[in-house]
Each structure stands twice: as C-alpha cells, then as structure tokens.
Amino acid sequence: MQQFEQSEALKRLPEQFFASLVQKVQRLKDQGHDVINLGQGNPDLPTPEHIVEDLKQSAGIPEYHKYSPFRGQPFLKQAIADFYKREYGVEIDPEQEVAILAGAKTGLVEISQCLLNSGDTALLPDPGYPDYMSGIALADAEPAFMPLKAENDFLPDYSEISAENLDKAKLMFLNYPNNPTAGTATEEFFQETIDVAGQHNICVVHDFAYGAIGFDGKKPLSFLQFKGAKDVGVEMYTLSKTYNMAGWRVAFAVGNPSVIESLNLIQDHLYVSLFSAIQQAAEKALSSDQRAVEQLVETYENRRNVFIEKLKSIGWNLGAPKGTFFCWLAVPEGYTSQQFSDLLLEKAHVAVAAGNGFGEQGEGYVRVGLLDSEERLAEAAERIGKLGLFG
C-alpha cells in the first residue's frame, strides 16, 4: 500500500506527553491491578442535571438541525457577556469581543496560526500546558520559555526574560490558576503583565481554564479585570472544568477585538460553529443558578484537604494548592520526576504525571489530579506511604 508522507507542519508537532502514561496504566489494568489514576486532567463528576436536561430539550428543535451561524449563536455570545459582567465586572461586546471555540484546546492551538509567522517568537510558561507548543509548531514559530519557580509563587519574573526575547515576542501564553503548578495570579502580576505587553507589543493569551476553581474563599482573578487588558490580549474560558462539560467541547475567547476577529476568521474556514443545542445548553450553564459550581469547588477543596493531610501524615510535607484540581508535588531526593512517577505506578499502582513532561522546569515534581473520591485519594496516599520513601 502506498505510504503518503506527512507534511512538514505535522512533523514539527511535539509528541503527545500523556500517550505513554495512558499505555502504562492500561498495561497494569490489563494485568488485573487496581490502578488509582491521578495522572490526567479529565473531570470525574457528571455535568449538572439541569444542563443535561436543557440539551435533551433543545436537541429536538428542528431549526438546530441545520447549520449553525458560522460565528456562533447570538444568545450564547450575549450569555458570555452577561457572565463576565456578573462574575468579574467586565464589559464585553458580544459581537466584537467574543469568539465561540470548540473547546479551549482548539483556541489555544489556533491562536498561534492567527498571529505568528514562520520564525516568530512566542513566550511560554515552563512548566506549562503542552498544547501551547503544538500551535507554535504548526505555525513554524519559535518558543522562548519563562521559568515558573516556587520561590516566585510560580509566576514568571519578567526581569529575567532577555530584552531580545521581549522585543521579538509577538505572543505570550499565561494560565492562572495554573496547570500544572496550581499557582495563582495576583493583581500586581496581571498589571505588570499588561505594562510589559504594551511596551513590547506582545499579545497576551490568558488561559483561564480553571477560573472557577479557587480555594480558601479566594476567587481567581480574570486577566480582563485590569485596566488595559483588552488593549493587549484575550482570555480563553472553557466550560469543561467549571461545569464538568469536558466532552461537550465548548469554550470561548473574550477580549481584544482584532484578535477575536482573527480567531473567528480562521474558524470560518474550519468549522460551522457548534451544534446549536450544545450552544443553548452552554447558555443555560452560564446563565442559571451557579450553586452546582459552588458545590464542585467545595468538593475539590475537601478532596485537597484530605489528600494533603494524608500526605503529611506519611511524612511528605507540602503546601496546599490555592486553585485548580491539581497538586504539584516535589519528589523525594534521589529521584527524577520520571523515576518517581514510574515507581509509584509500578509499586503502589498510583498513576501521576511526571513534571518534566510539562517542561524543563517541571523536573523534580509530579502532578496529581484531585479527580477521584476522598476515599480513593486517601488510599493513594496510604499506598505511597507504604513504600517508605518519607521516613
């Protein structure tokens, strides 16, 4: 059979980091082992029932069986504008400042093709979400990494970025609350970001995937809450984490009108928006009572508390994450991230993600998802404790 060569763009794509972890976990499951899989970021709880019911009803509307408007249903864009006004006090023009996305992953990959040419530079957090690199590779652009260090609360220090990279950069990716470090942003940081981006003509893309998930009574900050943010960038928000709608593939970008137009333009050539019944259910999620979101955050906070306390009881002393549904844990001395994650999987049958998979600065850490019951998280900590690694 004829073998057709892949394009240069596909050859540039990085290897999917989680593929090997999935294979390792499946191998142990096939052998009959009970694996507690805390290595991925797939929400484990169902979509709230009122959203599901809305989809069931709206799926029967004959008009929705036709092509959707290319740039999304006006009612969803208005709901997004209302959501930002209610939650963050931010005014959004639903026509000029909203792009509907088929999941935030899509937008985060597309935006590099929208704004970068071959050889251009983009600033990326290290460690960071691997798919930022995918879009940059497809655009044939170059990454410049911004280290996220514990001593700086996992915020980039702009004074450490070379003047050359700041001058060359066209795009900057940020993500707070942060995957994988669970770090959170401050008002001062976002204001400094806006100043730096304005001085160097950099478009900021703030990945706000975990925007709803803040702990200890502290609500995560939106980048767009700060003066001048729309002048220099956009924010991407997904319903995957806030409403447990990961499989629904619905998200949006809001902010700078020129960037929104570029996202809409590329999508004009790739999609005919989302199934309108899903858009109506998304409108329901954003517009209805938010108690289900509050309960979800409480669930994750309770899981965090149980897990961290259990880890402390086995001698693994760590700080508790302030947001997201991840814990970013320093590995014991004498192990690399990969060695430690392999050990936990093989000996304790607990799957975690090795930190080096998120970038060079992730070496020395593992990422653990709070995506199982309190009982299973406690059991995972107990299994780790039995390995005797922490005295």
Each residue's pLDDT tens digit, 54-94: 999 999 999 999 999 999 999 999 999 999 999 999 999 99
Are 180 and 82 found together in one domain? Answer: yes
182: part of which helix (H) or strand (E)?
none
List of E strands, the chain: 36-37, 98-101, 121-126, 142-147, 169-174, 203-207, 233-238, 251-255, 326-330, 350-351, 353-354, 365-369
- pTM equals 0.96
Tell me the pLDDT tens digit for each residue of 113-123. Answer: 999 999 999 99
Indicate whether 22 pLDDT > 90: no
In sequence order, the 6+-apart residues with CB closer than 8 A to the CB of 80 are 92, 94, 98, 252, 254, 286
Domain end, chosen from 259, 287, 315, is at 287
Q: Which of 264, 242, 245, 241 is nearest to 253 (CA)?
A: 264
Are 185 and 262 found together in one domain? Answer: yes
Indicate whether 390 pLDDT > 90: no
Across the range 203-221, mean pLDDT stands at 97
Answer yes or no: are the C-beta atoms of 177 and 324 closer than 8 Å.
yes
Are 231 and 303 found together in one domain? Answer: no
Inter-axis angle of helices 291-313 and 374-385, nearest 10: 20
Provide the pLDDT for residue 218: 95
User: Mind giving me the DSSP string for 304-346?
Assistant: HHHHHHHHHHTT---PPPSBSSEEEEEPPTT--HHHHHHHIII
Across the range 234-261, mean pLDDT stands at 98
Tell me the pLDDT tens digit for each residue of 94-112. Answer: 999 999 999 999 999 999 9
Across the range 277-285, mean pLDDT stands at 98
Are 257 and 341 found together in one domain? Answer: no
Are 56 and 36 found together in one domain? Answer: no
Are 86 and 162 found together in one domain? Answer: yes
Domain end, chosen from 262, 287, 312, is at 287
Provide the pLDDT for residue 185: 98
Indicate whether 190 pLDDT > 90: yes
| Range from 41-45, 113-117, 277-281 carrying the lowest mean pLDDT | 41-45
Domain tally, the chain: 2
Across the range 273-282, mean pLDDT stands at 97
Across the range 171-176, mean pLDDT stands at 98
Provide the pLDDT for residue 298: 97
Are 167 and 264 found together in one domain? Answer: yes
Give the structural domain span for 297.
8-47+291-385
How sure is the predictor about 37, in pLDDT bands with cuts at 50, 70 and 90?
very high
Are 31 and 82 found together in one domain? Answer: no
Compare 58 and 319 and report the one with higher pLDDT: 58
Are 172 and 240 found together in one domain? Answer: yes
Provide the pLDDT for residue 187: 98
Across the range 276-298, mean pLDDT stands at 97
Indicate whether 19 pLDDT > 90: no
Residue 326's region, left for phi above 0, alpha for psi from -120 to 50, else beta, is: beta
Q: What percent of the chain has pLDDT above 70? A: 100
Domain end, chosen from 270, 287, 304, is at 287
Across the range 126-147, mean pLDDT stands at 96
Kindly report the backbone phi and psi dihedral angles of residue 173, in degrees, each rounded to the nearest multiple of 5, phi listed first: -100, 130
Give me the CATH number covering residue 352. 3.90.1150.10
Indicate whether 36 pLDDT > 70: yes
Are 84 and 167 found together in one domain? Answer: yes
How sure is the predictor about 391, in pLDDT bands with cuts at 50, 70 and 90?
low
| Range from 12-26, 154-168, 208-222 carrying the lowest mean pLDDT | 12-26
